[in-house]
Structures are given as structure tokens and as C-alpha cells.
Structure 1
Amino acid sequence: MDTDNLSVVLHAKGDLRLEQRPIPEPGDNEVLLLMHSVGICGSDVHYWQHGRIGDFVLKKPMILGHEAAGRVVKVGSRVTHLKPGDRVAIEPGVPREMDEFFKSGHYNLSPTIFFCATPPDNGNLSRYYTHNANFCYKLPDGVTYEEGALIEPLSVGIHACKRAGVTLGSSVLICGAGPIGLVSLLVAKAMGASQVVISDLSADRLSKAKELGADFVLAVKREDVPQELARRVEGMLGGMPHISIECTGAESSIQTAIYATHSGGVVVLVGLGAEMTTVPLVNAAVREVDIRGVFRYCNTWPMAIAMLASKRINVKPLVTHRFPLEQAVQAFETTRQGLGVKVMLKCDRNDQNP
């Protein structure tokens, strides 16, 4: 049996280390996975740089990583739907109890949920990792490990578009062309949006958005006035968008989304910014613009796998950098500097392919 379980461990703010951890044994309802591809998320970098996200504070060393896919190498005694050799995508949020949120299908809102790489729970950026088998989803032959890992950010886009009610003929504004804005773009188009305009500060990110199917791109500057940006969006689309999906968390961007959205439309807040934010609430209220929140996702992995297997969605262009696990610190630095879109770490020494 292999004894190498190299893991990426955050010890404290700014203190990221590569170290060996024991290879865990799977519990009765768990599987042991040889990890293959793990994407670096902005939240991983935020914990590294700040030691916390909101109320989630790092108090002890934590393994990072939650965008992941791997291969089953051992199954627990009660696991019947998976076997060694199966390739799986991992849903990182696992409810710990059958509470009211679990029963109503909103298990992502359970206050006691386990979630990879959210203090105090360890993530899966390691050579070997155990996870609840019910939250490991078998990948079809035509879906790669990297696509499996990208189901996690893709799920944010799916959940956001479902919350927004994107449907045939919808016109959509997406604020922010980072990884979450880009997957929201892919999902909105797949769900039937007729026109999508996406905004960002970065010309490179807008170029990637155009490549992925955006109908219009809007270059913004930090000093731009939200009402003016809203008028520019209306001019591009020939009318105000039915739906705005805000992926930055920036106050001015949330204001733009509200001003831009058609009366009777929906604004979905995906990006997390300051706890207290000034927004034109009365403007939204008198125009019956619904403002809806998004917290991660739920019940999205089967849909995502079906969309990837049918080639309705292509997430492959999102991966711009790849590093072996041994170069994790360099990979994190690449992400921190905002280079590329998605940085992928390759955890299997014998298989560095996508």
C-alpha cells in the first residue's frame, strides 16, 4: 500500500505548507479516493491570505481544496453503488443530520453541514482522501477528471441560474467574469438565455467570456457610476435584462445589477462582499425587482454530469494552468496573482492527464 499522502495544509494566515498526513481508512459509508484533479478556488486563496471568511475562522491546521475528482481505491462495508476503480466527482458539502433543511431538499442551508476546506473541516487537496460515498458521483467515460472537478464551480452557476429562473428567451446580465461568472454564463446559455451581457474590470477575462459565448461584454472601471452602467447594459441588449447575476460582491456592482434589472425581474447575489452594503432598495421595491441570495448549491451534481456528458456545456477552456501537487504553493501564488482562470492541481503521480 502506498504511504505517500502529500497534503496541502494551511497552518495559519499566510502559512501554507506541503506535508505528509496518514492515509485514512474509509468508514462504513465512505470511500477512500486517490485524488486526481483539484481546482484552486478563490475561497482557498482567501483563507490563505486572511485566515478567515466571515464567521469561518481558521483555528487549527486545515487541508485546503474542495473542487475535486478522483478514483475509488477502497470502499466502506455499507457502500454498494461504488467499487474500486470508479472515477468520481466529489460534492464537498455533506449534511451531518437529517434536519428540516435536509428534509426540504435544501441541505446546503443546514447549519451543521460538513463542507470541505471550511473551518474546522479538512478539504481534499491531498494524495488520498475519504468522503461520504453518497456524495461521490460516478463519472461517465466521456467526462474527464478535470471536468469532474469543475462540477463544483459549475454547480454554483447552476444553482444561481435556477434561483434566478433563467429560461428560454431570458436576457441576462452577469456582473463579474471570474470563474463563477463564466460558469454562470455557460449555464445561462444552456438553459435558454437568448442574450447575455457580462461585465468585468479585466479585458482578458472579458475576452474569455466572449470565447465562451457571451453576446456582449462590458468593460467597467472602478469609478464608473452604477446608473450609467445600467443604461449601457440596456443599450447593448435593446432593453433591460430580465435577470442579473451578481458574482463580485462589490457594492457598486450590486447597485448596477439592481438599477439594470427590468421591473418585475430578479437579481441573484452570488458574490460575497462586505457584511453591510448600501443598495438602492427602494428602487428595487417600487419596481418589484426580487433580490435573491445564493449559498453554494444543492442537488446539482446529477444535472451537471448530464450536461457535461451530453456536451451541452464545455468547461474545458476554463482550465488555464496545471501544476503537480508537489508545486502547490506555486499554483496558489499563480491564482493569487489572478493569472488565467482556473488553476488545477494534479494529485496522482502516475496520471497527470486532464
Structure 2
Amino acid sequence: MNLPKEQPRSLLRRAGDVVVDTAPVPEPGPGQVLIEVAAVGVCGSDVHYFDHGRIADFVVEEPLVLGHEASGVIRAVGAGVPADRVGQRVALEPQQTCGRCTQCLTGRYNLCPDVEFFATPPVHGAFARYVVLAAHRAHPVPDTLSDEAAALIEPLSVGVWAARKAAIEPGDRVLITGAGPVGLLCADVARARGAAWVAVSDAVGHRLEVARQRGAHQVIDAIAGPLTDSLEPVDVIIECSGAAPAVRSAFEVAAPAARIVLVGLGAPNLELPVAEIQIKELVVTGTFRYANCYPAAIALAASGAVDLDGLVTGRFGLDQVAEALQASKTDPQSLKPVVYPGR
């Protein structure tokens, strides 16, 4: 196909200020593919950059294209990439790593010190018509998956990684704290891995109802009282809210030898009950994105074990990115707005 020379993109110039401008269509280098972006989910990190212009030490110092939960179609390939990949529908794993450091060579490429991740300053993201990506990070998806579902393979991979870190086994009792999109997907993956019982807590009633509809065995109003009033001890806690009270409550309901996985980003420092961790031999770990999760996430979505389309609550064109980024404030039932750069 004849590709255009210029493309539209949504650019965050500063906190609260996004505009549509044009930029050259990038050319794929060796080992890369050019992808026409079909759909992009709005992540909480995109919203945080829009609201505050930074996340921790990552500061928007120059205009930045947001968006990293993306799907699309390969339109051109660089040297060394088979030509038959052109036309392939893909889910984008939005990162480039060095492939040579200790972390990469041991399979933990999410911890590569030189990682370049979409929509993390200064790396541009996918709120654009075209992007380039390493070919091995463009994962083919079956035609049974919609463009929206293919885009949401990215947050589903967060759930797969959390479940692996938690070592969820058949028969486990699991608690998910936080019923945003990632928390809901963590609950889905826990059930898919054979958890016998999955509870979800949150302070928002609508999100708890969504969790119930998606198969949670119990939903808990996080502000109604201590979790210990509602729960027997659990084997696994996956904390997705980032709220300090939720982190502390995880230890209160942890069974001996429970695994606690911290997914949500909150306060940089918290006081933890070290004596309880030692006496109960609790395993406490964090997560940072994911590694080697896309094939499993695609398989879960394609099999019907996880419903990704059901998370989508709003659809926006490239000139409506500001509305998409503010959807959680304007619509109390918003879960996952999706941007379509081609509209």
C-alpha cells in the first residue's frame, strides 16, 4: 500500500494541554515493523501525565505522545523482517529493551535499565496513526479478537504477570484489592488459573458490581469496615489500588505463608508489619509491568476465559483525547476509554 508521508498524532504539551498536530510517518529500521494503530486504551498513567505532567521521576519536559495499550496492523517491515508480516493484525508490547544486560538475558527484560517504554518521557506513545516497534514485540492476534480486545492485551499482561508472581494455584483463596481495569483483570486471571474463590474489594459500588458480574465470588465495600469483618484468611492478595489502607489490610487477612503482590502505585514509602511477615512467613513482592506474558494473555482472551471487550466504556477519536483522559472524572461508570487514531 502507498503510505502517507505525514500523520496526525495527539501531543501532550504540558499538564492539561493536548493538541492534534502532524509529524512524519516513521520508517521501520532493521528488525522493526511499521504499524497502523487501530485502537489504544487509556491507562491511569496516561491520565496522571495529563493531570500532573509527571509520574515520580518521569517528567514531561518536552511534548509527548501518550498511549501504550495498543493494537494495529503491520503496514511495512524493516530489513530482516519477513515480508509476509505485512497485513498482520497485532497487539503491541510497547517496549524496547537492550537484550544484552543481565536482566534481559535472564528473562526479566521488564527490569532492563535501558528499557524504552511507550508514553514514558521522552519516548512517544501510540496516540498516533503510525508507530514503529521491534518486530518481536508485535504479537499476532487471531481475527476472533476485536481491535479493542487486542489493545487490552497490554493490561491483561499486567494481570498475568501478577498472577505468576503470586504463584496462584488451583484451590487458592484470592483477594484483589482495587477494582479498576487491572484489578478486574487480575481477578479474571486468578479464576483462569484455578483459584477456588476470588474476592474483590473497592470503595466504588459500580466497580464492585462489575466485578460481581465478571465472576467474583464475593465483593467487599472497602470503606464499610475492616476486611477482617468480611473475610477468612486468604492465600493470595493482589493489591491493585495503591492506597495505603489497602496495603495494610492485606497483611491483616493474609493466611500463614500467603503471597502478597503489590501492583498498584501509591506512596513511595510505607511501614510494613515486619514481625507479622516473619512469624507468618509471608512472601511480599512488587511488580513492574511484565515480561513474556503476551502469548498467554492472547490465549486467555482468544479462548474466552477473559472478556476484554466488556471493559470498554467509551470510544473517542484522536481529536477527543482530552475527553478520553478525563472520562473517569466526567463519567463515574467509566472503566476503559479507547482512542481510535484513525477516526
Q: Does 1:343 align with 2:343?
A: no
Aligned twin of 1:138: 140
Worse-superposed segment, 80-89 or 17-26: 80-89
- Offset at 1:4? 5.0
Q: Give the secondary-structure state (helix, strand or coil) at the position aligned to 1:262.
A: strand
Aligned twin of 2:324: 331
- Offset at 1:81? 7.2
CA contact (8 A) 1:259 1:283 kept: no
Q: In structure 1, what residue type is equivalent to 2:231?
A: V
Alignment partners' CA distance in 2, 1:211 and 1:183 = 13
- Offset at 1:132? 1.0
Alignment partners' CA distance in 1, 2:340 and 2:328 = 15
Aligned twin of 1:26: 28
- Offset at 1:284? 2.1
Alignment partners' CA distance in 1, 2:208 and 2:83 = 42
Q: In structure 1, what residue type is equivalent to 2:337?
A: V
Aligned twin of 1:10: 12
CA contact (8 A) 2:98 2:104 kept: no
CA contact (8 A) 1:68 1:124 kept: yes
Q: In structure 1, what residue type is equivalent to 2:261?
A: V
Q: Does 1:266 align with 2:264?
A: no
CA contact (8 A) 2:28 2:77 kept: yes
Unaligned runs of 5+ in 2: none
Alignment partners' CA distance in 1, 2:27 and 2:169 = 45
- Offset at 1:14? 2.1
Give CA deviations for 1:296-333 in whole Å, capped at 9, x if unaligned: 10000011111122222222111111112221111112
**Distance of aligned partners of 1:82 and 1:15 in 2 relative to their CA distance in 1, 3 Å threshold:** farther
TM-score relative to the length of structure 2: 0.96
Give CA deviations for 1:228-275 in whole Å, capped at 9, x if unaligned: 3234222xxxxx110000001111100001111101111000011111
CA contact (8 A) 2:73 2:88 kept: yes
Aligned twin of 1:242: 235
Give CA deviations for 1:71-124 in whole Å, capped at 9, x if unaligned: 111111211275221100000122124110011000000111110001111111
Q: Does 1:300 align with 2:293?
A: yes
**Distance of aligned partners of 1:215 and 1:81 in 2 relative to their CA distance in 1, 3 Å threshold:** farther
Q: Give the secondary-structure state (helix, strand or coil) at the position aligned to 2:277.
A: helix
Give CA deviations for 1:207-248 in whole Å, capped at 9, x if unaligned: 100111100000122xx66xx3234222xxxxx110000001
CA contact (8 A) 1:96 1:114 kept: no
CA contact (8 A) 1:231 1:260 kept: no
CA contact (8 A) 1:82 1:133 kept: no
CA contact (8 A) 2:99 2:105 kept: no
Aligned length: 340
Q: In structure 2, what residue type is equivalent to 1:272?
A: L
Aligned twin of 1:36: 38
Give CA deviations for 1:185-213 in whole Å, capped at 9, x if unaligned: 11000000110110001000001001111
Q: Does 1:230 align with 2:223?
A: no
Worse-superposed segment, 111-120 or 340-349: 340-349
Q: In structure 2, what residue type is equivalent to 1:24?
A: P
Alignment partners' CA distance in 2, 1:82 and 1:65 = 27
CA contact (8 A) 1:154 1:304 kept: yes
CA contact (8 A) 2:141 2:298 kept: yes
